[in-house]
Structure 1
């Protein structure tokens, strides 16, 4: 069908753009010998897993459910790294995962023996105490962080149980930040690296973004391989679906309160929570920053929540009820975080094929809302 025939609101995944991102990652692993894992938390839409798995080495999970989803639909290695495993789920995890990373010495002590008994490679998430984010609340290496083991807490008596180290400290950053992270990691944990089999440098690498310092990244990968003999893993999530998703909405109402306000048939809080939680401002087709073009509107969501605001945008024409507005770069953390809070219906999900034709994958109804309970 044509894009104009899609119901709104709708998440629309561009298959051609997704393939372009995956090709960049595939080329990187072929040039360097590193291994690429798809971080499912960014985009756990399993209808695309068969396609994604053709270009990467496996997937990474943050929970038992993600690990099970990968086991069912993703080809390749199945890694999991969870803040705390529960006894009732761990028996299943060791059957379906080949790499299991623990967040703390106590979890390592409790479960590593069972993981090894099932032939799993065991990792420990470490915290090199390198601050890379502007706000401590979003930095996994901030003081008092619950994520990863610091050098002071490292279980020296259990080091023989550890096959690899996992570090995740970046978010939408270039390779220079990875260089600083690598220096901090080596300073704190370098004495362990010659004993290990692998190092997982986590996600947050903007690998597919224009201007990414690929040569610097390849130098870092080569250093860990050559100096320490390690297999190097990267876990991109955002880079896989960078600019590969649109969010198609419709203007439902127009009103005035000190400035023009357009109410959309969608919700920023429910359908794109990074907008309200992380102050993300998605690009909007045909629009610009406030006051750049003649007509500036505040775009609001349809929920009853005061904070349900997409942002202020300017247009070259007055908006009309029924007009479609299309947000760009909206595949990341949208489907995975979307919710039906206040009874807000879930958006449809569709794919744009390489020939431009659009195909609906899923629509939702009141039954989906009711059956959650």
Structure 2
């Protein structure tokens, strides 16, 4: 059905329901074929107004903070799969009450909280709770060090030399997360490293959480290999397998709509200032870094065509991204659409410089845009004191 974009404010994140459903249908087919559980990672997609859609296909979600846990409880209607690099004493009881699975980042964390876990289980035998340990297989193909959990000195997960030959009593599961928007071929090589170091412990475990980074909704991803790998591990070690993709859920399901505020000549370079910010609203473009795709633009400069450097509206000197060319000159008031900005981008936004957060909206299956939320002064003020 044709989409009506006429009433979209600027800037605005716009999710398209039909595209989200298409991704979820594919992911659901994978979990059914592979006999595994695929759950939503809130760090990649926390748009809780869309959780009723997600619930139709996925039965769970994973959190890395108490706030994410509460969103899962309130809007997914289930207990959370929880992992934090370290737990806070004052939050831990509530974490226990709100979680079905808790993964510990180190043996010292497990030893510190083991007594409270055991007491909770004694007092609430009706609450199903399973604990696991995150491991570091010392193998990752993530090139950007900021996103690589296996760099020397990584604080994420336990290396094999720190673990005993028998899983500690009370630990049911093993968790690894070393992928980042990778294919199933990378998973295959990663599993080889995991089995080489932790195979004996996998035989003792009840579940294996393979973390996120499985970009199964990207065109060209080898779905059948993923299914074979998951089934193979599940059957070989007789355990449950859990995957918690972040990007795959909302991959290419929506865009960020922006507007040209100004165009200026800066020492021979035509610079566009938008009503958004790369630093505040699209931080991954500067952290990874990567160059976002602009609809109906050439992603690299083309000789002889109108070419512009895209800049944000904050006073940070580095709040700009690379150069793009267009078939026609841009004018103040023109719309510029950044593609694929729903996963990770939305959850990382800030109000640096006091800039308003982009609005959030959704195009429903009937093709009509509906504004979910707008932000203003109160949103900025509430983050300060």
134-143 or 46-55: bigger deviation: 134-143
Q: Distance in 2 between matches of 1:105 and 1:273?
A: 33
Pairing partner for 2:207 from 161, 185, 198: 198
Question: Are residue 64 (structure 1) and residue 41 (structure 2) matched?
Answer: no
Question: Are residue 269 (structure 1) and residue 279 (structure 2) matched?
Answer: yes
Q: Distance in 2 between matches of 1:158 and 1:205?
A: 27
CA RMSD of aligned residues (A): 1.4
Pairing partner for 2:51 from 34, 49, 52: 49
Matches within 5 A, 1:158-169: 159-169=168-178
Question: Are residue 222 (structure 1) and residue 210 (structure 2) matched?
Answer: no
Question: Are residue 351 (structure 1) and residue 358 (structure 2) matched?
Answer: no
Q: How many residues align?
A: 373
Q: The residue matched to 2:215 in structure 1 has which SS?
A: coil
- Residues 292-323 of structure 1 show CA distances to partners (whole Å, capped at 9, x for unaligned) of 37111001000000111132111001000000
Checking the alignment, whether the CA contact within 8 Å between 2:69 and 2:82 is kept in structure 1 is: yes
Structure 1 segments of 4+ aligned residues over 4 angstroms from their partners: 155-158
Checking the alignment, whether the CA contact within 8 Å between 1:266 and 1:302 is kept in structure 2 is: yes
TM-score (norm 2): 0.94
- Residues 7-52 of structure 1 show CA distances to partners (whole Å, capped at 9, x for unaligned) of 1001101111000000001111111111011000011111111210
Q: Which residue of 1 aligns with 2:124?
A: none
Q: Distance in 1 between matches of 2:51 and 2:162?
A: 37
Q: The residue matched to 2:336 in structure 1 has which SS?
A: strand
Shift of 1:57: 2.4
- Residues 85-104 of structure 1 show CA distances to partners (whole Å, capped at 9, x for unaligned) of 01100000100101000000
TM-score (norm 1): 0.97
Shift of 1:171: 0.3
- Residues 180-237 of structure 1 show CA distances to partners (whole Å, capped at 9, x for unaligned) of 1101001101011111110000000111111101111111111111111010100111
Q: Which residue of 2 aligns with 1:122?
A: 131
Checking the alignment, whether the CA contact within 8 Å between 1:165 and 1:198 is kept in structure 2 is: yes
Q: The residue matched to 2:14 in structure 1 has which SS?
A: strand
Checking the alignment, whether the CA contact within 8 Å between 2:72 and 2:78 is kept in structure 1 is: no
Q: The residue matched to 1:160 in structure 2 has which SS?
A: coil
Question: Are residue 283 (structure 1) and residue 293 (structure 2) matched?
Answer: yes
Shift of 1:132: 1.2
Pairing partner for 1:260 from 239, 255, 270: 270
238-247 or 305-314: bigger deviation: 305-314
Shift of 1:155: 4.6
Q: Which residue of 1 aligns with 2:184?
A: 175
Q: Which residue of 2 aligns with 1:106?
A: 108
Checking the alignment, whether the CA contact within 8 Å between 2:132 and 2:172 is kept in structure 1 is: yes
- Residues 131-182 of structure 1 show CA distances to partners (whole Å, capped at 9, x for unaligned) of 3111333210111100000011115576222101000000010001101110
Pairing partner for 2:308 from 291, 297, 307: 297
Q: Distance in 1 between matches of 2:247 and 2:77?
A: 19
Shift of 1:76: 4.1
Pairing partner for 1:84 from 83, 86, 89: 86
Checking the alignment, whether the CA contact within 8 Å between 1:50 and 1:75 is kept in structure 2 is: no
